[in-house]
Structure 1
Amino acid sequence: MGDGGSVRDGGSVRHDGFIELDRVEKVFQVRKRTGFLRSERREVRAVDGLSFTVARGEMVGYIGPNGAGKSTTIKMLTGILTPSGGRLRVAGIDPARERLRLAQRIGVVFGQRTTLWWDLPLIDSYRLMHRMYRIPDGRYRERLDRLVELLELGSLLDVPVRQLSLGQRMRGDIAAALLHDPEVLYLDEPTIGLDVVSKAKVRAFLRELNAERGTTVLLTTHDLQDIEQLCSRVMVIDHGRLVYDGAPGALHEVGDSERTLVVDLERELPPIEAPPARVVRVEGPRQWLAFPASRSAAPLVARIAAEYPLVDLSVREPDIEEVIARMYAGRTSA
């Protein structure tokens, strides 16, 4: 698939990773009603011969369309689900067999669900986790103070969780997942629904966490900017199979995906001419320009600002589904 990327539909892996999956499968038995008193059983293969390794300290994006198998993979990595086949290890531990032992070494954050106690002040959730994980008092205080500082939670500790904004609650959830200083952190849509400022805070913290603590991070998201700003490697899963493993920039090149620049001009004008961008839509003074996602938007923005009466503009990232669709189209036509 070009430099920096590869297609893997299974295959074996070397057993030298911190996270290891070797031909892992997960099959669900689903009953479907076929009549008033009749139903038939069918197999749903959520994960299909999945193999990859993640080294200690890596920060890896794990993406794909809805129903691709991402959440199923995370649940197997945490021990919530047991694989139907294959071999899976996290820090040398079989998650399904030793879930409690593994819990001391992993942290999990789900963007649309919270692990915090809804009606209690934020600090009370942390005190409960202090006891649950049996964190030594000195280590707990040191860790909590550092997390509160980095995630700017000082003014929120006495606020009931139900009164926190989504961005505040997300930062609170991340702190909760890291109180016991896990070696690996699974993040499922950690910036979903957040405003620009909150996203920037979460991303900055995760970069610092990875650099300072060497925490291994596996990140699932629908926001490609999360991947581009945080990860040096991205894996794409579709229909339970790994279809891409490489650099984020190369993913755009493989899929020939495009960003969209939305430009608001002072008045209605003919379509903007700024190759390699091309105008794909015009509505009065607003124009939409598509340009290669692998290219920086800065030169294009500077050129338009210098040559046209600009009022406002914004850059829209391609959807994960769009990137994957273009990637498949390229493979089919090759």
Structure 2
Amino acid sequence: MADTFDLAVVGAGVMGLAHALAAARAGRRVVVIDRDARANGASARMSGLVTVAGHAPGQMWRRAKRSREVWAEVCAQASVRIEHEGLAIVARRPEAATTLEAFAATEGGAGSSFYLPDDAHALFPQFKGDIAGVFWSPDELRVEPRSAMAKIASWLEEAHGVAFRWETAVIGVEDGEVSTSRGPISAEAAVVCAGDDFRSLFAERLSAAGLTRVKSQMLRVRLEDGYELPGAVASDLAILRLPGFEELDGVAALRARLEAEQPECLANGVVCLVSQSADGSLVVSGSRQADPTPDPFQSQAIDDLILGEFEAVLGKRPKQVTSRWIGTYAFSSERPVIVDAPSERVRVVVAASAAGASSAFAVAEETIAGLFGKG
């Protein structure tokens, strides 16, 4: 006889785990099914930074705020260490300073601050060179993604009774049943959270969403012993990637200047986002190259662009690069999150941007409420 659940979740990345939590909190019996032995996609490979600042105003910003609240609850209950909090965006150019100062005055910048050069240098001595200011948001938090995903899955199993079916491929999803490589699973409803695999299930429906895949080069580096960052750090290259800044003063001028000064960085989607781990090492990302089938090869030229920006902001080259890896994720230029309803009791949820960790818990609450009601 097939196992019976209220909800089957396909995918054990952060989006899948978020849906499992939302359903379990609503009193539902949940199973999570994943083809691998552990989470091994974007959720485990990206920086682990949960952002609030810079999301598009309205729904995505509200989702980020709510998800950050749930992240704090989950970290406390699942024994997931918060590595650090806060995000500094360093304006290397006056055009960036104009944009960051304008954003700090918006609703999306509530609680944030913009510091002019003298105060910025005094508050953030780590940032070197001739900078035009620093934007500081206290809302961001960072976890180690690989260990965090495993701890959250274990906690969901132990504290909320969520069942996991690892190393199990999902072949098909219909109302009432999920077909897998290990036999059928009966479930009243299903949510498919398959990350950047949007071709295996409901591919025909998702083909209309304009999805592609994105490859990002990542590095872990070391500086001298005892080096400490104030939180996550980004350079002004990141401004062009943040939807909440798109219409602000200074953005067009910043883009024009970057096109003249750092065209290779823009062509390869290079930003410099630096986060720190408990052992003092720094996770540095990354690049963004869109390709339906990203190759698995790390480009030294792109790594050099990333590390060049690292040096421009922090005034140092890494003492050591301890590891390099590739992350991939789904991407759409139209929508950062796609929620589709192939049938009454089935939803397909795709984080179509690098904002999966920053929106997952709120998106999950919305989806579960839609499937089961808020009561």
Q: Do both proteins adopt the same fold according to a TM-score greater than 0.5, normalized to the shorter chain? A: no
**TM-score, with normalisation over the residues of structure 1?**
0.30
* TM-score normalised over the length of structure 2: 0.27
Question: Of the two structures, which has the highest relative contact order with CA contacts closer than 8 Å and spacing of 6 or more?
Answer: 2
